[in-house]
Every structure is written in structure tokens, then in C-alpha cells.
Copies of this chain bind each other. A is one copy, B any other.
Amino acid sequence: MKTRRSDRLVDMTRYLIEHPRTLVSLTKFARQYDSAKSSISEDLAILKRTFWQNGVGVLETVPGAAGGARFTPVTRLDDAKIFVDGLVNEISDETRVLPGGYVYLSDLLGQPWILQKIGRLIATQYLKEPIDAVMTAATKGVPVAQAVASALNVPFVIARNDTKVTEGPTMSVNYVTGQAKRLEKMELSRRSLPMGSRVLIVDDFMKAGGTIRGMEALIKEFEGTVAGVAVVVEGEVQRRVIDEYTSLVHVNTDKEGGLLDVRVGNFSEKIYAQHPELTTPMD
């Protein structure tokens, strides 16, 4: 039975949001709703306009017989600033500082709505770039990896310091931690990542960056490419062992556990430099 436009709009919105960065063919929609491709094209024009006007995402429409639509969620700079200012505000709390200059984030990174916003924001940087997988280190980075992978619609993989019997055959690397200069081992299940993948590294917290360097070595071992590095919070350190990364929040603590300064990270230049269309204020 032919579906009414209103019902098609609701269901197409739901479907495209649930299948980000995937080309959905006009034919699929036309069959499913028993509607002409010309009607579906008109529907897509409405979706495209509405998604863009509300700062939700970009709907690319590919014309022609083999055509379709691809929805890519984005976060506009003004929305990103409001969100990150909120994070900075939440993190600006002396009681979050733990021995060793670590910062307690588990409550924030246990909130699905915060994770969803973090995932979309980090994914926005790779709006026009292919990413095959997201990698993180166990265990605190896992929710962030899942959120970013969800926005990118790709798998995520978890590098581990401990040998778990439940991982099956693994590939491992040794790496030097960033600050204490200890030698550590990190491993990843062989079957979790195809060789030659383009991998985005994410983590909840980065100090000198030793763990991230370990993940870079692991990706190399899998003959892959590091597509980028993004962390929710970077801690102030004397010397960082990696150069290129995106951070949402920057935290400076002293050795006694005092919170010296919490401010926004480098995300606005890193994420938006390539995407000026997302930086103009909304109407």
C-alpha cells in the first residue's frame, strides 16, 4: 500500500539517523513505501533542508538511477561550544582530582547523552574522510570508542594491557609509557581488526600520550594507518610524546592534587578548520 508522505518522512528520518554514513538507495525507499522515486526525491529534499537547518547533519543526495541518500551527523561549532563549555564546567571541581593528577570522569562518561554528543563531535572532524575502525585502550576509553564508532558507523576495537584468555590469538607491541618511562605491553585480538585499516584512535584521558603511542605502534603492526587521535580530556604535561591530536577539554593539575585550570581543548581549530560551513552562526 502506498505510504503517505507524512509517514514516509517519519520513517525515513528514523532510518537515516540509525544508518549514518551509509548510502541508502532511492530504490529501497521507493519499494518499501510503494512510492514513485520522484516522491522519494521530494521527501529527501525536505529531510536535507530540515537536518541542515537544525544543525543535525548533512544529507547528501546522489541523483540518477543508482542514486540515493547518505546522512552524516555533524555538530556545528556553536553547539559544540555550548556542549564543551558544559563539560569544562562539570570538570572544574576540585574533588575530581585523584592522586597522580588523574581526573575522575566515569560519571560523565557513563551518561549516554553525553557520550552521544562526544561521539558526534569527534566524528565531525572526519566528515569527509573514510575511517574503517576506532581503537581505544581498555578500559576507560571503551565508552568513548563506542560513541565515536556509533557516529561513524564503523566497528571499534579495544587494545589491552592484560592478557585475557577470552581474546583468542593476539598481536602485541611493547611501548614506553609517556611520563614514568616504564616498558609496557599492549595487545589486540588478531581477528578484531582487518590488516591495512584506517584507524581513528580515541581515549578518555591523555597525559604524555604513551598509551596512544602504543596504539599507534599496534596499528602499524596491523599494517594500518592512523587516521587521527582524539581525546575527551588532555592533561597538562611538560612534554608530550605525540604531536597531532584533538582534545575537547584541557586540564592542569598540580602534583598535590590541586586543580589549577580547566579550559576548552584545541577542538575548535582541529575539528572546524576544514569545515567552515559548520562555523557560521545558526539563524
Contact = CB atoms under 8 A, between A and B. Distances in A.
Interface of A: 5-7, 9-11, 13-14, 17-19, 46-47, 49-51, 53-54, 56, 95, 98-100, 102-104, 106-107, 110-113, 115-116, 138-140, 142-143, 146-147, 149-150, 153-158, 160, 165-168, 189, 191-192, 205
A150 to B, nearest CB: 4
A253 to B, nearest CB: 12
Contacts of A14: 13, 17, 51, 54, 56
Contact of A106 (B49, B95, B98, B192): B192
B166 A47 contact: no
Number of this chain's copies in the assembly equals 2
B140 A166 contact: yes
Contact of A146 (B18, B143, B158): B143
20 contacts: A9-B9, A13-B13, A13-B14, A14-B51, A14-B56, A18-B116, A102-B166, A103-B166, A104-B167, A104-B191, A106-B157, A106-B189, A107-B192, A110-B158, A110-B192, A112-B146, A139-B139, A142-B143, A143-B156, A166-B205
Contacts of A191: 104, 107
A29 to B, nearest CB: 13
Contacts of A189: 104, 106-107
B168 A104 contact: yes
Contacts of A19: 113
